[in-house]
């Protein structure tokens, strides 16, 4: 796989999108700069761009879920539902123009931490 074109500069919209979706380490980068730029261009703001990125991550996670087992318990890490919930929260933030802590919740109202992915029991 070729190396991604990767820039992380928090003074730019692309850098802020990377911060929001936690794609800020070149060693584990999930998007090239051109992809992040396309998300920003299509959506018009960082929250909309983050929502588009989460939609793509949800599609990727659905195609290749990471599963782990702990005894009898099976879990999906970085599930499509996690990314869909984040995408929904970012869309709401895009409409509001700001992100408020506590707005990112799942269907049960539980807070979703953008830095610690939601674990889902299968």
Q: Each residue's pLDDT tens digit in the chain (122 positions)? A: 456 899 999 999 999 999 999 999 999 899 999 999 999 999 888 989 999 998 888 888 777 766 666 677 766 556 667 777 777 877 777 777 666 544 444 444 444 444 433 333 33
* Residue 11 to residue 50: CA distance in whole angstroms: 16
Query: What is the torsional sign of CA 11, 17, 19, 25?
Result: negative
| pLDDT given at position 112 | 45
What is the value of pTM for the model shown? 0.64
Please tell me whether residue 24 adopts helix, strand or coil conformation.
coil
For helices 13-21 and 33-43, angle between their N-to-C axes, nearest 10 degrees: 100
| pLDDT given at position 67 | 65
- For residue 117, count other CB atoms closer than 10 A to its CB: 18
| pLDDT given at position 115 | 40
* Residue 100 to residue 3: CA distance in whole angstroms: 34
């Amino acid at each position: 796989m070729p190396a991604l074109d990767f820039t992380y500069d928090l003074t730019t919209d692309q850098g802020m999108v990377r911060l929001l979706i936690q794609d800020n380490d070149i060693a584990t980068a999930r998007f090239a700069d051109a992809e992040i730029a396309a998300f920003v261009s299509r959506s018009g703001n960082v929250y909309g761009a983050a929502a588009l990125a989460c939609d793509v991550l949800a599609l990727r996670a659905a195609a290749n879920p990471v599963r782990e087992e702990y005894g009898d318990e099976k879990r999906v890490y970085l599930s499509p539902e996690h990314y869909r919930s984040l995408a929904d929260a970012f869309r709401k933030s895009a409409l509001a123009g700001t992100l408020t802590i506590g707005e990112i919740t799942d269907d049960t109202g539980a807070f979703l931490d953008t830095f610690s992915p939601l674990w889902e029991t299968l």
